[in-house]
Amino acid sequence: MANIVIVGTQWGDEGKGKIVDLLSEYADIVVRFQGGNNAGHTMVVNGRQFISHLVPSGILQNKICAIGNGVVVDPEVLIEEMTYLKEKGIDIGPDLLKISDKAHLIMPYHKAIDIARENKKGERKIGTTGRGIGPCYEDKAARRGIRFVELLDTELFTEILAETLDEKNFYLTHYLNGSPLSFDDIRDRYLGYAERLAPHITHLSAFLSEAIGNRRSILFEGAQGTHLDIDHGTYPFVTSSNTVSANACSGSGIGPKVIDGVIGVVKAYTTRVGQGPFPCELLDETGDRIQQTGCEFGATTGRKRRCGWLDTVLLTNAARLNSLTGLAITKLDVLGGLDTLCICTGYEYRGQRLSDFPSNLKVLAECTPILETLPGWKSDISGARSLSDLPDEARAYIHRIETLTGIPVQIVSVGPGRDQTIVIDHPFGSQ
């Protein structure tokens, strides 16, 4: 038995979905502990592609999947996703999908405010997906959010909605120049969602506690990446929740002593979507080549991802913040064909070398990467299934990452398929 946390180490889009899907085979329960439908996991199984935004990817392995209290849930999106999975032959019944009764609901006014704010900011916009994630977390922190437990109480839900919508409509119309939303429409739709989702809603903390007591293995999956964390990321160009491993506990309702390992997923290069400083960004043919070869478009937004060399300043920062016990490198195959590769080992700022990731974004924006050059490889490595199958240059690249971060590499992905994976040291022990 082991309880493992999976987190992203960069700015999201590291390929966590594939790693979670891979390891779900060895877990009894998979729990999503933060974020909302502003994240997307893409999995390729037996040549079939699946994209999930809320339901943990362990559902493809017929595992019990749970949406934790740290997640903000758009019930319309969740129901659409459940329907999508069911149509693909995936069992999505109440025995396999659990929803914490303490998870907060994304309401229509959250999405309306999100979009209107970005429009009002113009060139100063943050780059939000417009899905209401931030405004929902705001209401949660302000103690005026609506949870699933309130949704199941028709009288209480109606009372809270009436009070809240009055304030939101005033803000939408008088400050954001938007249109007011209909109370009757929202009430009727959400009470319909309540009826549809009620069988899935549970006291998740108690459920997980019982499972741990029965020595069942749990895989905790996060969304986005470490440097989009609301506290530790490149603020304000971040998401609205804690993406680091510590939130696996508070976002699920379990204590830290039950966690046995934390796997950090790192792309073999670095990407970023949206605004914010990116010291290793490649604004040249190499960056374009990586972007095209790696199909670097957001699974949720379709936005083109900015690409650059692997940044171990970023990665080492993530290792410390998450107490990483191992790394999973993804998309190593994308780097094939390049004559040389570069790894950022530090930043230069006004003539000084920085080894730590700066908190001040003005400083970060002025940093230039200190690059170490390594030889590339020409061969196609997508068929590799062990380290010995890889060319010497690829093995040297992996070893250099381990040396620079001090974290062992446990998994290497060489393609999108589940089988296109090299497992060096299994996180769930000997398999």
The label of the residue with tokens 């999106």 reads 77
Instruction: Identify any residues that bridge with 409 across adjacent strands, giving them in sequence order.
Output: 327
Find the angle CA(120)-CA(123)-CA(127) to the nearest 5 degrees.
Answer: 80
Q: How far apart are CA 312 and CA 333, in angstroms?
A: 19
Nearest in space to 58 (alpha carbons), one of 86, 19, 93: 19
Nearest in space to 66 (alpha carbons), one of 56, 75, 57, 80: 56
13 is catalytic: yes
Marked catalytic residue, from 13, 21, 114, 311:
13
Q: How far apart are CA 280 and CA 330, in angstroms?
A: 18
203 φ/ψ angles, rounded to the nearest 5 degrees: -80, 90
Marked catalytic residue, from 41, 104, 110, 227:
41
Which residues fall within 8 angstroms of residue 119, CB to CB, at 6 or more apart?
A: none
138 φ/ψ angles, rounded to the nearest 5 degrees: -60, -50
Which residues fall within 8 angstroms of residue 75, CB to CB, at 6 or more apart?
A: 105, 106, 151, 190, 193, 196, 197
41 is catalytic: yes
Residues noted as catalytic: 13, 41
